[in-house]
Structures are given as C-alpha cells and as structure tokens.
Structure 1
C-alpha cells in the first residue's frame, strides 16, 4: 500500500520522504527495524496531527518526537500495569516482541505496532482504548487508511471533528 491513497484524504505530504535519514539512527539505537509502510508514511507526512485528533510521532521531530513520546507512553503504561495489571494483556517494548507505541489520539488512545511474534506472524496494529484493546490484522498504512475511511469496527475519528477540521493533516513542529 503506497502513499498515493492518502493524498486524496490528507493532502500532499509535506516532507521529502527521506526514510534512510529519518530512521537509520533511531533503528540503530532502538535495536529493531520497523515496518516499511509505517516509516514511509511518517517520513512523508512527518510529525503530524490528523483531523485535529491523532498525533503521529517522528524520530527527528522537535515536538512530536517518537523516542520521547514512546518513553512517556511506556512509563505511563508501566505505572498503570502496576496498578491495574488486567488492563495490559500484552507485553510492551522493550520486552521481546513487545508492542511499540507510535501514535496517540487526543482522547488518550495509544496506537501500537505489534511486531511479528507478539500477536500474529506479521506486523499488525493494537489500539489501547483505555481500558479495552482492539487488534487489527493490518499493517500501519492499511489501518490508518481504514480509520480515515471509517472502515474499522470501532470508529476512530469522531464525525463532528471530521466536519469541523479544514486542514486534515498538518505538520507539527520541525525536523532536526
């Protein structure tokens, strides 16, 4: 699934899609390669806010920084798991095959990449709606496209937000 399908919904990407520059250092520090479709989307659309509700993090961003956001979300999850273990049925990064947080909604839902071997044999998506979870047998791009087209079992974007927003995808901050 390519980026072309997002253009009619989100507009043209604002960045140069330099996947190597964006991801090589992060993946080296992180110790794992992330799925290509996710990296291509993030490298094209950057650290962005989609329909004023979903924040996509970027590894070289000054505001929606992937590493900083991951650290925050994982620390919050560790605390919540210590208080309410039943609300976190999956292992999270840095556990082997742990879920990797990559985005969050204004309402507090976290989107995770689920590595092969964690839930399925391929990269999939898990969403922590707090306190429930949803699993999607799609990669990042297909999940996001289905969410944007309201084709998921759970409505991801509030219809009233979709009607009010004039810029469907806006870059937030800068790339270092």
Structure 2
C-alpha cells in the first residue's frame, strides 16, 4: 500500500466492497499500462467523488459518466482538435508525449497523467487543465499523491476551485445512475 493511500484512509474510510478489475483488458483497451497506485486506488475506492467536487474516473464505472475508457477516448479527440488552435503545454512538446485523464471536477477541470515515451507508468506525473481555458499546471506527483495532498492541503492548485478541499471531507463512491 502506498503512503498516499494510507493518507486517504485517514481522510475517508475505505468502502467495504473493493472493486475488482481485469486490468489486462482495461490496459489493452487504452493501449498503455496504468500506474500501480491508480489501480490500488480504484480497487479500494472505485470511481469516487471527493468533497463534492473532484471525481476519480474508473474503467467500467457503474456511473457511465465517469468511465475512464470513455473519457480517455473523448479527451484524446478533443485535445487533438484543440491543439490546432491553442499551443500545447511545454510538457507535451516532447515527441510522443500525451495526456490521459484520470479525474475531473464538477466545474469541468480535467486532471491527466503526463505520459512520456520510455517513462514507466509509476513515474507519470499530473497535469491539470482549466475548464474552457488554456491554462495548465504540472505537478511532479502520482495521481494518488496528488489526491491525498490536495485533500490535506499540502498541495495547492491555482486552477482547481478555491472551495476545494472542504474543511470537513466528503467521500462518495460512484454508483449506477
């Protein structure tokens, strides 16, 4: 268990039913291996909402609006169109670099893994893109470290809502709609 996941346990007790995934099938569908900390996060918490604001995407999420596979496909297409009009963030200028979404917010901000050629998934870092805007932030942490650090106030984003995190944390596992 990662240190970040241990920190999340202190913020929100884990649901009683772990989520099981066929990660081989998921990764074949995405065309990449996913970070171990994300797989562990999904196993324990599943697709989830944190403090009524941040939604962690889950492959095959019971709430289809937060399905990682669908988001990855939609965002890849949307960003390709966007790059025709907007400059890519410097982190994406390296040939073969790309982003894959792992979370979103109720305001429409999107949190991505920064995927670089030759970089193992467990070394991917986090990029945050503002909703309907060109601002990006880069954080040199894993997705689970980002979530735990954002919730406990250790990490600050200039893009995410100033109302996040809440003083009293709220956690909700996403279910079918």
Q: Which residue of 1 aligns with 2:12?
A: 10
Q: TM-score, normalised by structure 2?
A: 0.78
Partners of 2:58 and 2:23 in 1: how far apart?
Answer: 9
Q: Which residue of 2 aligns with 1:135?
A: 138
Partners of 2:17 and 2:149 in 1: how far apart?
Answer: 23
Q: TM-score, normalised by structure 1?
A: 0.79
Q: How many residues align?
A: 167
Q: Which residue of 1 aligns with 2:32?
A: 32
In structure 2, which of residues 130, 150, 154 is the aligned counterpart of residue 151 of structure 1?
154
User: How does 1:92-107 map onto structure 2 within 5 Å?
Assistant: 96-107=96-107
- Specify every segment of 5 or more residues in structure 1 that has no aligned partner in the other structure, as ranges: none
Once the two structures are superposed, residues 103-123 of structure 1 have per-residue CA deviations (whole angstroms, 9 ceiling, x without a partner) of 111122111111244899931
- Specify every segment of 5 or more residues in structure 2 that has no aligned partner in the other structure, as ranges: none
Change (3 A) 1:75 1:14: farther
In 1, are the aligned partners of 2:46 and 2:58 still within 8 Å (CA)? yes
Partners of 2:8 and 2:161 in 1: how far apart?
Answer: 16
In angstroms, what is the RMSD of aligned CA positions?
Answer: 2.9
Once the two structures are superposed, residues 39-98 of structure 1 have per-residue CA deviations (whole angstroms, 9 ceiling, x without a partner) of 1102211111111111111112132211112222223222322232x2554549xx8341
Deviant stretches of 4+, over 6 Å? 118-121
Q: Note the C-alpha offset of 1:145.
A: 0.9
SS in 2 for 1:82: coil
Aligned: 1:58 with 2:58: yes
